[in-house]
Amino acid sequence: MNFKNKLENAVEENNSLLCIGLDPDTKLIGDKSLFDFNREIIDETHKLVCSYKPQIAYYSARGPKGLEELIKTVTYIKKNLKTIPVILDSKRADIGSTNEKYAQEAFEVIGADALTVNPYLGFDSLEPFFKREDKGIIILCKTSNPGSSALQDLKVDSEPVFIKVAKKVVVADKKYKNLLMVVGATYPDHLKKIRQVAKEMTFLIPGVGTQGGDLKKTLENGLMENGRGLIISASRSIIYAQDPKKSAKKLRDEINEFR
């Protein structure tokens, strides 16, 4: 089953657009291993989500042991929750031959269903990812961090760079049919413009929760007519909550109330 079908099944089964970021900080999780911390979150929330999204830096910073625990986490999800996809957040970007290896790392070694990538080197460099037809390739378009405007909002021939990227993604998706985009909830007005360009594409939406993104405006500007088309990602506001299940359900229900 390819990523997009798996995602749609999870959205339907759990009535959810919520993605939980599995970003365990060793300073905050005490004596637990990364895997044990993740497993508790997964066991409590798996009926409330459409996907999980580990950020690779939280694991690679621990060296080989951390990467081993990332692989254990992904394997655990794939074995026990066959309908819920895993998005590896690593924002990879390099020349094509190196991206071949990054694709191998993400999909064959770690076992992810989707991967975030950076378009800065040009779309020809991303083809090794695009050719993984059963995987989701999620391209950075408008990121959630405050400094993103320094490059992404620059005007080129009277259009901001993020719109240029969105248009290229739409064209590329006509060929590959496995592309998505990252658009931060901290920029809902930008999201509206991107939705006008990419009317039928699904967006991964970081920035809700701790980063203070506007959930209502994000849903208003980003949802497709069928009430889908967004993957709303939250990490710290859920995984470090006193009751992660309660926090996940609250956010899932807030999203669904608007849908």
At 40, which CATH number? 3.20.20.70
- Of residues 146 and 42, the one with the higher pLDDT is 42
Nearest to 50 by CA among 85, 5, 90: 85
Q: Of 27-31, 59-63, 240-244, which gets the smallest average pLDDT?
A: 27-31
pLDDT score, position 30: 86
Number of domains in the chain: 1
Nearest to 140 by CA among 188, 205, 187, 83: 205
- Residue 181 scores a pLDDT above 70: yes
Q: Which residue has the tokens 């991967």?
A: 115
Is residue 212's pLDDT more than 80? Answer: no
The whole-angstrom separation of Cα 48 and Cα 245 is: 8
* 3-class state of residue 236 by DSSP: helix
Residues annotated as catalytic (active site), given as ranges: 91
How confident is the model over 146-172, as a mean pLDDT?
Answer: 94
Whole-angstrom Cα distance, residue 58 to residue 66?
8
pLDDT band at 253 (very low <50, low <70, confident <90, very high): very high
pLDDT at 211 > cutoff 80: no
Q: Is the pLDDT of residue 210 over 70?
A: no
Q: 208 pLDDT exceeds 90?
A: no
pLDDT surpasses 90 at 80 = yes
Mean pLDDT to the nearest integer, 6-11? 97
Question: b vs e for 120-141, b when ≥16 Cβ sit within 10 Å of the residue's Cβ?
Answer: eeeeebbbbbbebeebbbbbbb
User: Is pLDDT at 31 greater than 80 in this prediction?
Assistant: yes
Residues 216 and 222: their CA atoms lie apart, in Å, by 10
pLDDT of residue 252: 96
| CA 99/CA 178 separation, integer angstroms | 17
- The boundaries of the domain holding residue 233 are 3-258
Instruction: Output the CA torsion sign for 149, 151, 154, 157.
Output: negative
The C-alpha atoms of residue 152 and residue 162 are separated, in whole angstroms, by 5
Percent of the chain with pLDDT over 70: 98
Quick one: pLDDT at residue 180? 98
Query: Token pair for residue 82?
Result: 């066959």
Q: What does the pLDDT look like over 97-126, one tens digit per residue?
A: 999 999 999 999 999 999 999 999 999 999
Query: Residue 231 in contact with residue 17, Cβ under 8 Å?
Result: yes
In this prediction, what percent of the chain has a pLDDT beyond 90?
A: 88
CA dist list (Å): 25 to 33, 60, 158 = 10, 12, 42
- Whole-model pTM? 0.96
